[in-house]
Structure 1
Amino acid sequence: MRIGIITYHRAFNYGAVLQCFALQELLKSMDHEIQVVDYRQPFIEKLYRPSIMEQTWQNKFSIKALLAIPSKIKTRNQLQPIFESFVNQHLSLSEKCDAKSLPAFDVYLVGSDQMWSINCVGNRIDPVYWGMFSRPNATKLIGFSISSNAHTITTLGESILTYIENFDSVSLRERNISDEIYGMTSKRLPVTLDPTLCVDANTWDKIINRAWEKRRYIVLYHVMLRFSPIVHSILLNKVNQIAKFHGWDVVDLSIGNYSVNDFVSIIKYAQCVVTTSFHATVFSIIFSRPLFPVRLHDGNDARYVDLLNALNIGGVLKDLDFDDKVPPKIDYKCVHDALTKLREPSLDYLTSCLRPC
């Protein structure tokens, strides 16, 4: 079947492009013909690729915002080639399109990522992400591991059921969102894994930079979406202490100027990973890396806390005041056995949804 993936593939975010790559490769392994729909969502385009003129006009009444424009443009110019290089090299893109000109596919697959979080697109319902675009009757529309948030669910209320009914089938990424929708609509939506967890190390080896294998280092990744200079300073100090104890170098992925390939590669070959990130936790597990996953208790720990508990290794979690120098031992054979079982419902869901009518 010809499948078009609809997701945030143009975001400057490691997790966004890596989950897209994982889903693409997973569907290819099921013998489908895959393209990522090169949909140019207006808000996303302006958020990640603002022009100097747009920035100046939008902030013309704020001196502080105007003074920040050069820094924003510099950041954009640093990130754009990093992410666009990966997208152009590793994702099979359709022709560029807008909401009224999506190319034809047998199946449109929306997901994963925050496709149903309206705050990600300017607090509006995007017609493509919610299945309100023109398509032939014979086509399927599937949602896979879609994420949302309390703000969206509360804003839409019971009307969310109308949008769900645009789809032939929908699965969600988080149990709590499934529970909230069920409580509001009495419709139970299944929960499936983030695509990065649905493929094994062999898939990721396709994009690995093996030059990192020669180095001995500890990795810090304090995810940008919850970045705090104070927290980062505390974590970096701890990482430096661990590195000194073992005689390792330090690689700080938090600064965000590494390529997408290097992001995965650096974790694969690390002696140890210290992180506040779901995806850094995922890749540490996939590559059997020693790991310090750190809780910040800021309301954003749940994804990797739940994952570690599901794999029966919740005991490795640390709080910000940890002072260990040696990472906790993890029986990765048992972890990978548990992950294989954890994948099964997600793979079964996709297989079932993609059966010909």
Structure 2
Amino acid sequence: MNKRIRIFTFMLYNYGAILQAYALQHYLRTLHKYDVQIVNFETKIQSESIRIFRKYSSNFIVNFLILCLSLWRYPQLKRKQKRVFNFKKNCLSLTKEFFSTEEEVLNNPPQADIYISGSDQVFNPNNNLYWRVYYLGFPKNNSLKIAYAPSFGISQFTSEMEKRLAPYIKDFDLLSCREKEGAQFLSKITQSDVPVVIDPVFLLSSGEWEKIAVLPDQKGYIFIYDLNGGQSLVDIARQIKQKTGLKIICLTLKVQRFYPVDKQIYDCGPREFIGYIRQAEYVVTDSFHGTAFSIIFKKKFYTYVALNHMSSRIYTLLESLNLKDRIIENKKVQEFCFEDQSLPDYARKLNEIISESKTFLQKI
């Protein structure tokens, strides 16, 4: 009988969350033929995140204006929603059990031989209302508890956090982390070495990602993926455009923004997201996974640090590959001077890190 692996990860409707979940499940299935499913845990907050018409602000006027713009952009937003749902339905294998509250999971977890928590910010103790689920806060009985590439999303840890999280962390059989600060925090609690491993999207090759990508008609453009960077990302891209003449395509989540770009899109699903990066000449983003796929496809890219307190995973990844010069610090866009330079050859180092990460998973 194949071992049953159940993965606890964020079921948020954003590209990074969905694609890292797909990658870990796909890798474990193809490598070991395990019975691998993602725990079907979706909270009210997560369900709300995919709704087109929802409350964006407590300010009535602001909320009304955003809702009007959502109506105007409705065809694109509806296509995105459909593409995300289809990817989740066709590409992710979920448990039959549906859980919508923390108590449901903790009181009656799905049966498994191995539980894996990860990746994404499942260990973030500040932004995660359901942290006990992702710290696998239920009796493991004869099963194993593994943490693969969980992200804390923070770089500063308090004694209060340590006291609250230590009992859960010590119940894991194998621990790893995506950031070096997080790994050091886990090592301090467990008094043992905790390795830094790479995000699950790197477990699959560029060729494997190309198989599921939907490529756009365009080719050779500057692609912006905007989470929180906003106009700063556009300013970087426009400087590149001035010297290259390439068009700018911007994927943003902000329906209220009208950026001075050649094309602004809202209808990407996970497959289309991969495709736009695959076909780009340059990528400008403040997203970790936008950066990750740029590296996978060997694209020239610049990563803007929009939120300092949530940038640890970006620094860890790019420092490990000698790519720190691709980072543009928060509020330092005016210091950016574009030069069309080739990236250093990071393939060997990246392959070493991926190999070490796969070795960790072999310990299962």
| Residue identity matched to 2:304 | V
Residue 130 of structure 1 corresponds to 135
Quick one: which amino acid aligns to residue 242 of structure 1?
I
Match of 2:42 among 40, 52, 57: 40
Equivalence for 1:327 = 340
Superposition map of 1:155-174 within 5 A: 155-174=160-179
User: Alpha-carbon deviations, 1:75-126, whole Å to 9, x = none?
Assistant: 996454342222112111221422144432221211111112233333x543
Measure, in 2, the Cα distance between the counterparts of 1:121 and 1:298.
18
How do residues 305-316 of structure 1 correspond to structure 2 at under 5 angstroms? 305-316=315-326
Residue 4 of structure 2: which of 2, 5, 12 is its match?
2
Distance 1:215 1:298 in 2: 32
For each residue in 1:155-190, what CA deviation from the matched residue of structure 2 results, as whole angstroms up to 9, or x when unmatched?
433242210133222212211122234445645433
Partner residue in 2 for 1:105:
112
Aligned length: 335
Q: How do residues 1-357 of structure 1 correspond to structure 2 at under 5 angstroms?
A: 1-8=3-10, 10-31=11-32, 32-46=34-48, 63=60, 67=64, 70=67, 78=78, 80-98=81-99, 99=105, 100-122=107-129, 125-126=131-132, 128-133=133-138, 137-148=141-152, 149=154, 154-183=159-188, 186-212=191-217, 214-222=218-226, 224=227, 227-228=228-229, 232-255=230-253, 256-296=266-306, 298-318=308-328, 319-322=332-335, 324-331=337-344, 334-352=345-363, 354=364
Q: Quick one: higher RCO (CA 8 Å, sep 6+), 1 or 2?
A: 2
Q: Which whole-Å deviations, capped at 9, do the CAs of 1:30-88 have from their partners, x for residues lacking one?
A: 12232112123355345555997xx69x97xx756875784798699645434222211
CA RMSD of aligned residues (A): 3.3
Whether contact under 8 Å (2:13, 2:49) holds in the other structure is no
Residues 147, 174 of structure 1: 8 Å contact kept: yes
Q: How far apart are the structure 1 equivalents of 2:48 and 2:156?
A: 22
Which residue type is aligned with residue 114 of structure 1? Q
Question: What is the identity, as a one-letter code, of the residue corresponding to 1:283?
Answer: F
- Match of 1:30, as an amino acid? L
Task: Give the Cα–Cα distance (whole angstroms) in 2 for the partners of residues 234 and 150 of structure 1.
Answer: 24
Closer/same/farther in 2, CA of residues 153 and 349 from structure 1, 3 Å limit: farther
- SS of the residue corresponding to residue 224 of structure 2 reads strand
Q: Is the 8 A contact 1:113 1:145 kept in 2?
A: yes
Per-residue CA distance 1:267-310 (angstroms, 9 max, x = gap) = 11111112222212211111111222334573444322332221
Q: Indicate conservation of the 8 Å contact 2:300/2:342, yes or no.
A: yes
CA contact (8 A) 2:27 2:204 kept: yes
SS of the residue corresponding to residue 7 of structure 2 reads strand
Amino acid across the alignment from 2:251: L
CA contact (8 A) 2:223 2:249 kept: yes
Tell me, yes or no, if the aligned pair for 2:284 and 2:303 is still in contact at 8 Å.
yes
Distance 1:299 1:138, change over 3 A: closer
Distance 1:165 1:43, change over 3 A: farther
**TM-score normalised by structure 2 residue count:** 0.79
Compare 265-274 and 91-100 and name the one that shifted more.
Answer: 91-100
Question: Relative to total residues, which structure has the larger helix share, 1 or 2?
Answer: 1
TM-score (normalised: structure 1): 0.80
The Cα shift of 1:133 comes to 2.9
Aligned equivalents of 1:281, 1:17: Cα separation in 2: 16
- CA distance in structure 1 between the aligned counterparts of 2:351 and 2:6, rounded to whole angstroms: 26
* Mean Cα deviation higher: 248-257 or 290-299: 290-299
CA distance in 1, matches of 2:69, 2:173: 41
Report deviation, 1:152: 7.4
1:111 partner letter: G
Distance 2:327 2:137 in 1: 42
Q: Would you say the 8 A contact 1:272–1:327 is kept in 2?
A: no
8 Å CA contact 2:112–2:143 kept in 1: the answer is: yes
Structure 1 unmatched ranges of 5 or more: none
Distance in 2 (CA, whole Å) between partners of 1:310 and 1:108 is 28
Structure 2: stretches of 5+ with no match in the other structure: 100-104, 254-265
CA separation in 1, counterparts of 2:237 and 2:350? 28
Instruction: Output the amino acid matched with 1:320.
Output: V
